[in-house]
């Protein structure tokens, strides 16, 4: 790290001490032109990824999947099955890689932990009164500590969108700092819920706010509001982590979540990562897909590439 | 690393004949003097087809055919029927767009992504737009009884072969004129395919005539006394010569010529989109764009940051096979153009500007030039004044809005300009002062059939596109 | 009682709002008066004055330009008898005043009629608006000396252009008198510059001048000269209005052509987004 980034980093770490400093900084970030950002994202979506590149992309995408179930109806049986699938997505093909992580509610963490113990698959848990975050801070922190104690090594928290939209940036910042502390050694993914932030300017500001407060990952969505991850939102977030690393030397991961259902979608995201932040982020440690049905489509496409025939849903497990 | 495997568009959709005649009076004919030349693929230097070279007698035949069609068929035809022919042509272009896009990329060297996503949709849209004008001319605001001019001689460049054809032919035909069009000698093939589309549309013979050839053919055409209207897109020098040649005649003239556009980036710009705009401004179509943003004027207090982002972005540009769907920058159109780009770039280095290109492997055969930027450029450098018409950007800095305007306008050209800032009032203040026919604010290189395009000063006169585009083809 | 001896008038050039004699010191006898014979240098000086006036005149609001031109019509009306005394028929003076008023009213309407929004196929605001081309050289028709002159000056300046006019060589007095009208009508100096003398001397200089944006050859009657001027104008791609036919009827509704031929269309794009 150069002297400049060291001093920039220490300057940036001071921002959280004052509402005014935070506001001045966040509002001083360059604006995002909606039309331009959406066109760039669309243009990246026109890349044609075929043959060897496609095979490589599919395996990478599988390794990046945070295999997720976040339902009121989740049961120990359901999440155990999901965890088993995370370890061996394609039982018929041992060369198929495992996914990045399994993502569940805190109450389900112990059951998943049993299955994943000893494997390289991470265990993520949503916490902080997911998805709305509308609970007292102490409860949100307790939620976090409980998930970690039960075996989660990744925490997916939600930011306080109400406070953000009302301009109470320090409140949002302080909550992230507190959650980071409560997470201990677990990686903290900060969900911005971009569908509720309404503008790309807000997405950029929220991204920086989350990174300044110590988030290890920034994540688009809970999957519980009508607008989940989109290419342009993820583009703006990728630009933010790129610029943040340039300014501070610290690398932050990105996780689009919700709405990514097909291999084609996933590959578009990988192309975007490749051409926006480069190979440093083309790794499950730095980029994840929050998804459930995506995995089976990746597996079907993978089978197609290895066998030459198109498969059908009956040939892939439904957990 | 994530390496994209080759993703070539199939050539099989194009059925090229070994040789092509001239399209006169509805049929392909051999040239009277038998001359011909070869059109090559600039990405590989392979010969694509042999094309007839029209001589003076062929020009005579074509103008006569156009006159006859004007007098007997197209002139008297009701506007609503002219409209239907133009709609037919628009639809055929849509139907055959893949074929046309592949052929355009083969003959021109532009990436298939652009010919497929930009050129062809705009070509079809242009015919569709002007088709609708054909029976509404009295409502176009040019008085109660606008009349066509007669026979139009049209000479177009090689940078957007089919799009420039559309910009010329669609409004001319909508207004009731007939045309003799000469495509550029390095890119004649899509115009010939367009001639086949005219046949397919049963367009009456002689309404559209296509003469292939080089400068001599073009000169004979615009100087032909039977021509009533001359429309030219190309270099300012040739435009000047044409303006001289029509002096003293009653020929109506419109010219769309060169440019040296300033793309102005303020410190409060949406930087990531501005960088995209800079890249699109100068590397779109290999910089073979008259309205290219070839001078980047960046506010000094943000110059370093913008340049860093720009270089990072340029490193992502994929230069190579135009038919690969992932190619961003294709081949330079001709050896001659490559030579001109090299000469001016070398002048930039010799005059002390700092040259930078991202690392990129260029193919061995064909004509290639890596995306290049020059920093430390001043208004006194040749590369800040002369049109390079290639993927070469000159970067200058400014301190205040007034200085930006002054530098932007300090050129004999006046075709286009770009402004990047989040401040609305500044955009409008700048737009008022920039002497350019098209001002893109927080965007660049956008085109639309409804939007008039054309220059101030030595960038030419007349407008193409929109309601204004009819004026050059009407006696008002 | 001896009869009063009249004070005679000297007819001079009109450049930059002032009435200088030709820098060459020459004059020629026409319409029983000695009138300045403008030189090439005078033509160049007039271009400099016209260029200097562009910023203020083009930058003025359209309403303001309209008011000033209307004021000029008022002054023209007030000097009616003076023009009649120069031998201009009263009807022609009236027509000239009416024409001037007609054009004055166009100042704040031209952009609405000739420009407008373009419905592009994308999320963009797109608008085309006319702008003045800049400095326009005008060869005024030989006659009608006043109506012809007004009919070429007013359409050029109403949109914000400034002009250098080569006045009728055979009937220049109306032009100089019109200059006096304009000098007293709040019209900024340099917006209209009038050269008297030989077209063959001034027009080629104006046609070749690289700081002139357009040339109106309306009053050129010699075809060879017109061709030569058009060739010269091509050097910097001046917008060219070709000579009017000899039988042109100046009394009919002139339409928009003379205004629109001296306009540039500027189209501005901006994305629409949040």
CB pair distance less than 8 Å for B3 and A53: yes
pLDDT in tens, A181-200: 999 999 999 999 999 999 99
Name the CATH architecture for the domain at B262-441: 3-Layer(aba) Sandwich (3.40)
Contact partners for chain A, using 3 or more CB pairs closer than 8 A, are B, C
The interface pTM score, or ipTM, of the predicted complex is 0.97
Q: Which helix (H) or strand (E) holds C259?
A: helix C257-260
Helices (H), C16-144: 40-59, 62-78, 80-85, 90-106, 110-114
Q: How far is CA A220 from the centre of its chain?
A: 6
Which residues of A are part of the catalytic machinery?
156, 219, 255
CB pair distance less than 8 Å for A51 and B273: no
C27-271, CATH topology level:
Aldehyde Dehydrogenase; Chain A, domain 1 (3.40.605)
The predicted pLDDT at position C66 comes to 98
Closest CA to A145 of A114, A108, A196, A185: A185
CB pair distance less than 8 Å for B7 and A46: no
pLDDT in tens, C212-224: 999 999 999 999 9
**pLDDT band at A1, cuts 50/70/90?**
very low
pLDDT in tens, C247-272: 999 999 999 999 999 999 999 999 99
Enter the pTM of the model.
0.96
All domains of chain A, ordered by start, with CATH?
3-307 (3.20.20.70)
Supply B242's token pair: 């044409």
Query: Which residues on chain A are in Cβ contact (under 8 Å) with C122?
Result: 35
d(CA B97, CA B101) in angstroms, rounded, equals 6
Strand order in the sheet with B354-356: B354-356, B372-375, B392-398, B295-299, B262-265, B416-420, B438-441, C263-271, C124-132, C116-117
At residue A264, the 3 state secondary structure works out as helix
In this structure, are residues A262 and A275 in contact, taking their beta carbons and an 8 Å threshold?
no
In this structure, are residues A188 and A214 in contact, taking their beta carbons and an 8 Å threshold?
yes
In this structure, are residues B217 and B31 in contact, taking their beta carbons and an 8 Å threshold?
no
Strand order in the sheet with B252-256: B27-29, B22-24, B208-210, B178-182, B151-155, B229-233, B252-256, B460-461
Nearest-CA distance C95 → chain B (Å): 22
Among chain A residues, the shortest Cα distance to C272 is held by A35
In this structure, are residues B331 and B365 in contact, taking their beta carbons and an 8 Å threshold?
no
pLDDT tens, per residue, chain B with 476 residues: 689 999 999 999 999 999 999 999 999 999 998 799 999 999 999 999 999 999 999 999 999 999 999 999 999 999 999 999 999 999 999 999 999 999 999 999 999 999 999 999 999 999 999 999 999 999 999 988 999 999 999 999 999 999 999 999 999 999 999 999 999 999 999 999 999 999 999 999 999 999 999 999 999 999 999 999 999 999 999 999 999 999 999 999 999 999 999 999 999 999 999 999 999 999 999 999 999 999 999 999 999 999 999 999 999 999 999 999 999 999 999 999 999 999 999 999 999 999 999 999 999 999 999 999 999 999 999 999 999 999 999 999 999 999 999 999 999 999 999 999 999 999 999 999 999 999 999 999 999 999 999 999 999 999 999 999 999 999 97
The predicted pLDDT at position B33 comes to 81
Q: What's the mean pLDDT when you consider all of chain C?
A: 97
CB pair distance less than 8 Å for B257 and C237: yes
Asked if the C-beta of C274 comes within 8 angstroms of chain A's C-beta atoms, the answer is yes
Residue B443 is nearest to which of C227, C234, C269, comparing CB atoms? C269
Residue C271 is nearest to which of A36, A198, A199, comparing CB atoms? A36
Closest CA to B280 of B373, B430, B387, B391: B391
Interface size, chain A vs chain B, as Cβ–Cβ contacts under 8 Å: 69
Residue where the block lists tokens 């005219």: B198
d(CA B8, CA B106) in angstroms, rounded, equals 12
Query: Which residues on chain C are in Cβ contact (under 8 Å) with B427?
Result: 270
Residues 6+ apart with CB under 8 A from A273: A238, A254, A281, A282, A287
In this structure, are residues B205 and B215 in contact, taking their beta carbons and an 8 Å threshold?
no
The predicted pLDDT at position A2 comes to 53
In this structure, are residues B387 and B259 in contact, taking their beta carbons and an 8 Å threshold?
yes
The predicted pLDDT at position A13 comes to 83
Q: Which helix (H) or strand (E) holds B328?
A: none
CB pair distance less than 8 Å for A199 and C274: yes
Residue where the block lists tokens 């000579």: C243
CB pair distance less than 8 Å for B461 and C239: yes
> For B368, how many CA atoms within 13 A lie in the half-sphere containing its CB?
19
CB pair distance less than 8 Å for C264 and B250: no
Q: Choose, out of C117, C233, C265, the residue to mutate when testing the contact with B (most B CBs < 10 Å).
A: C265
Q: What percent of chain C has a predicted confidence (pLDDT) above 90? A: 97
In this structure, are residues A181 and A173 in contact, taking their beta carbons and an 8 Å threshold?
no
Nearest-CA distance A275 → chain B (Å): 6
Q: Choose, out of B245, B444, B451, B452, the residue to mutate when testing the contact with C (most C CBs < 10 Å).
A: B451
Q: How many CB atoms lie within 10 A of CB B100?
A: 28
Provide, for chain B, the percentages of residues in helix, strand and coil under a 3-state DSSP scheme, each rounded to the nearest 5. 40, 20, 40
Supply C217's token pair: 């050859």
Residue C271 is nearest to which of B125, B250, B443, comparing CB atoms? B443
What average pLDDT does this structure show over A84-107? 96
Asked if the C-beta of B456 comes within 8 angstroms of chain C's C-beta atoms, the answer is yes
Residue where the block lists tokens 């400049």: A4
d(CA B334, CA B110) in angstroms, rounded, equals 12
d(CA B176, CA B70) in angstroms, rounded, equals 8
Asked if the C-beta of C273 comes within 8 angstroms of chain A's C-beta atoms, the answer is yes
Supply B366's token pair: 């064909």
In this structure, are residues C231 and B247 in contact, taking their beta carbons and an 8 Å threshold?
yes
CB pair distance less than 8 Å for C237 and B460: yes
The predicted pLDDT at position A11 comes to 85
Which residues of B are part of the catalytic machinery?
256
Name the C residues in 116-155 with CB < 8 Å from any A CB: 122-124
Supply B293's token pair: 């943003």
Residues 6+ apart with CB under 8 A from B304: none
Residue B448 is nearest to which of C121, C239, C264, comparing CB atoms? C121
d(CA A238, CA A287) in angstroms, rounded, equals 10
Closest CA to B198 of B78, B92, B76, B50: B92
d(CA B366, CA B424) in angstroms, rounded, equals 45
Supply C231's token pair: 């060739």
CB pair distance less than 8 Å for C273 and A198: no
Nearest-CA distance C229 → chain B (Å): 8
Among chain C residues, the shortest Cα distance to A31 is held by C274
Closest CA to B431 of B449, B404, B461: B404
Nearest-CA distance B417 → chain C (Å): 10
Q: How far apart are the first and last CA of chain B?
A: 62
Among chain A residues, the shortest Cα distance to B423 is held by A31
Q: Per CB distance under 8 Å, which residues of B are interface residues toward A?
A: 1-7, 113, 117, 268-273, 276-277, 316, 325-326, 422, 442-443
**Residue A131 burial by Cβ neighbours in a 10 Å radius (0-12, 13-18, 19+):** middle
CB pair distance less than 8 Å for A274 and B443: no
Supply A24's token pair: 């001045």
What average pLDDT does this structure show over A206-228? 97
Nearest-CA distance A96 → chain C (Å): 43
Asked if the C-beta of B155 comes within 8 angstroms of chain C's C-beta atoms, the answer is no
d(CA C243, CA C164) in angstroms, rounded, equals 17
Asked if the C-beta of A199 comes within 8 angstroms of chain B's C-beta atoms, the answer is no
d(CA A28, CA B401) in angstroms, rounded, equals 20
Query: Which residues on chain A are in Cβ contact (under 8 Å) with B5?
Result: 49-54
Backbone angles phi, psi at A253, to 5 degrees: -85, 170
Task: Indicate the domain borders of chain B.
Answer: 19-257+457-475, 262-441
pLDDT in tens, A119-176: 999 999 999 999 999 999 999 999 999 999 999 999 999 999 999 999 999 999 999 9
**pLDDT band at C178, cuts 50/70/90?**
very high
Asked if the C-beta of B448 comes within 8 angstroms of chain C's C-beta atoms, the answer is yes
Asked if the C-beta of A54 comes within 8 angstroms of chain B's C-beta atoms, the answer is yes
Nearest-CA distance C19 → chain A (Å): 55
d(CA C173, CA A146) in angstroms, rounded, equals 101
Q: Per CATH, is B19-257+457-475 categorized as 3.40.50.300?
A: no
Asked if the C-beta of A95 comes within 8 angstroms of chain B's C-beta atoms, the answer is no
Distance (Å) of CA C59 to CA B137, B429, C50, C261: 33, 11, 14, 19
d(CA A105, CA C243) in angstroms, rounded, equals 85
Q: Choose, out of B141, B248, B402, B463, the residue to mutate when testing the contact with C (most C CBs < 10 Å).
A: B248
């Amino acid at each position: 790290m150069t002297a400049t980034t060291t001093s920039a980093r220490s300057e940036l770490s001071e921002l959280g001490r004052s509402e005014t400093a935070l506001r001045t900084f966040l509002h001083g970030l360059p604006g995002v032109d909606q039309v331009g950002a959406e066109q760039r994202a669309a243009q990246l979506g026109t890349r044609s990824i075929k043959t060897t590149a496609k095979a490589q992309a599919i395996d990478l995408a599988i390794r990046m999947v945070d295999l997720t179930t976040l339902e009121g109806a989740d049961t120990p049986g359901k999440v155990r099955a999901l965890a088993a699938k995370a370890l061996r997505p394609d039982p018929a093909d041992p060369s198929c890689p495992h996914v990045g992580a399994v993502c569940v509610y805190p109450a389900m963490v112990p059951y998943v932990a049993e299955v994943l113990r000893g494997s390289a698959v991470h265990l993520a848990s949503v916490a902080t009164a997911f998805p709305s975050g509308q609970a007292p801070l102490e409860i949100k922190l307790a939620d976090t500590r409980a998930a970690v104690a039960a075996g989660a090594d990744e925490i997916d928290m939600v930011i306080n969108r109400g406070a953000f939209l009302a301009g109470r940036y320090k409140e949002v910042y302080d909550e992230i700092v507190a959650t980071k502390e409560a997470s201990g050694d677990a990686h903290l993914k900060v969900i911005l819920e971009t569908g509720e932030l309404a503008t790309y300017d807000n997405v950029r500001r929220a991204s920086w706010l989350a990174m300044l407060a110590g988030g290890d990952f920034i994540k688009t969505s809970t999957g519980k509001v009508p607008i989940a991850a989109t290419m342009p939102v993820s583009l703006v977030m990728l630009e933010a982590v790129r610029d943040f690393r340039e300014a501070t030397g610290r690398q932050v991961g990105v996780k689009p979540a919700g709405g990514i259902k097909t291999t084609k979608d996933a590959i578009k995201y990988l192309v975007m990562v490749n051409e926006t932040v480069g190979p440093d982020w083309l790794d499950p440690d730095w980029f994840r897909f929050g998804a459930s049905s995506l995995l089976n489509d990746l597996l079907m496409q993978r089978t197609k590439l290895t066998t030459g025939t198109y498969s059908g849903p009956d040939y892939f497990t439904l957990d | 690393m994530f390496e994209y495997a080759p993703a070539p568009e199939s050539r099989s959709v194009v059925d090229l004949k070994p040789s092509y005649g001239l399209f006169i009076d509805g049929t392909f004919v051999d040239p009277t003097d038998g001359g011909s030349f070869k059109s090559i693929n600039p990405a590989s230097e392979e010969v694509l087809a042999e094309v007839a070279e029209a001589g003076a007698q062929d020009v005579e035949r074509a103008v006569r055919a156009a006159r006859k069609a004007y007098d007997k068929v197209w002139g008297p035809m009701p506007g609503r029927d002219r409209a239907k022919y133009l709609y037919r042509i628009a639809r055929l272009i849509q139907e055959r767009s893949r074929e046309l896009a592949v052929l355009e990329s083969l003959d021109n060297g532009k990436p298939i992504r652009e010919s497929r996503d930009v050129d062809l949709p705009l070509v079809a849209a242009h015919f569709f737009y002007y088709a609708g004008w054909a029976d509404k001319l009295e409502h176009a605001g040019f008085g109660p009884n606008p009349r066509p001019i007669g026979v139009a001689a049209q000479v177009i460049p090689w940078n957007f072969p089919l799009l420039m054809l559309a910009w010329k032919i669609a409004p001319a035909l909508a207004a009731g004129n007939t045309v003799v069009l000469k495509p550029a000698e390095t890119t004649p093939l899509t115009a010939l395919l367009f001639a086949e589309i005219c046949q397919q549309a049963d367009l009456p013979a002689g309404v559209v005539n296509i003469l292939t050839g080089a400068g001599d053919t073009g000169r004979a055409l615009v100087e032909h006394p039977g021509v009533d209207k001359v429309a030219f897109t190309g270099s300012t020098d040739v435009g000047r010569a044409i303006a001289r040649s029509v002096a003293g005649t009653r020929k109506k003239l419109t010219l769309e010529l060169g440019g040296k556009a300033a793309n102005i980036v303020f410190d409060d710009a949406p930087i990531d989109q501005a960088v995209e705009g800079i890249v699109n401004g100068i590397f779109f179509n290999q910089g073979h764009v008259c309205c290219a943003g070839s001078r980047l004027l960046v506010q000094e207090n943000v110059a370093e940051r913008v340049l860093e982002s720009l270089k990072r972005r340029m490193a992502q540009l994929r230069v190579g096979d135009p038919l690969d769907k992932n190619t961003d920058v294709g081949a330079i159109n001709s050896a001659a153009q490559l030579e001109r780009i090299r000469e001016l770039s070398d002048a930039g280095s010799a005059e002390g500007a700092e040259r930078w290109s991202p690392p990129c492997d260029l193919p061995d055969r064909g004509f290639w030039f890596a995306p290049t930027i020059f920093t430390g450029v001043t208004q006194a450098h040749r590369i800040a004044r002369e049109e390079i018409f290639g993927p070469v950007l000159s970067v200058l800095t400014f301190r205040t809005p007034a200085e930006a305007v002054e530098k932007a306008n300090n050129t004999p050209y006046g075709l286009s300009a770009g402004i990047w800032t989040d401040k609305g009032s500044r955009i409008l203040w700048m737009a008022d002062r920039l002497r350019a026919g098209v001002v893109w604010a927080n965007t660049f290189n956008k085109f639309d059939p409804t939007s008039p395009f054309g220059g101030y000063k030595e960038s030419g006169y007349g407008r193409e596109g929109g309601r204004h585009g009819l004026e050059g083809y009407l006696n008002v | 009682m001896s009869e009063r001896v009249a004070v005679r008038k000297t007819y001079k050039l009109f450049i930059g709002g002032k009435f200088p004699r030709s820098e060459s010191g020459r004059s020629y006898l026409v319409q029983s008066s000695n009138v300045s014979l403008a030189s090439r240098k005078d033509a160049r000086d007039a271009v400099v004055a016209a260029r200097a006036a562009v910023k203020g005149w083009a930058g003025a609001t359209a309403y303001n330009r309209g008011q000033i031109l209307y004021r000029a019509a008022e002054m023209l009306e007030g000097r009616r008898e003076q023009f009649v005394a120069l031998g201009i028929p009263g009807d022609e003076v009236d027509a000239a005043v009416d024409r001037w008023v007609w054009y004055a009213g166009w100042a704040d309407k031209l952009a609405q009629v000739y420009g407008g929004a373009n419905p592009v196929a994308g999320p963009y605001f797109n608008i085309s608006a006319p702008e003045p081309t800049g400095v326009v050289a005008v060869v005024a028709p030989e006659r009608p000396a006043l109506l012809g002159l007004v009919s070429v000056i007013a359409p050029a300046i109403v949109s914000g252009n400034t002009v250098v006019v080569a006045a009728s060589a055979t009937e220049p007095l109306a032009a100089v008198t019109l200059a006096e009208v304009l000098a007293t009508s709040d019209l900024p100096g340099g917006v209209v510059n009038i050269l008297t003398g030989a077209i063959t001397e001034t027009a080629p200089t104006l046609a070749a001048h690289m700081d002139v944006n357009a040339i109106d050859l309306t009053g050129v009657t010699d075809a060879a000269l017109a061709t030569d001027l058009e060739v010269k104008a091509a050097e910097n791609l001046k917008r060219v209005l070709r000579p009017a036919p000899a039988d042109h009827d100046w009394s009919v509704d002139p339409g928009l052509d003379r205004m629109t031929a001296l306009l540039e269309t500027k189209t501005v794009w901006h994305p629409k987004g949040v």
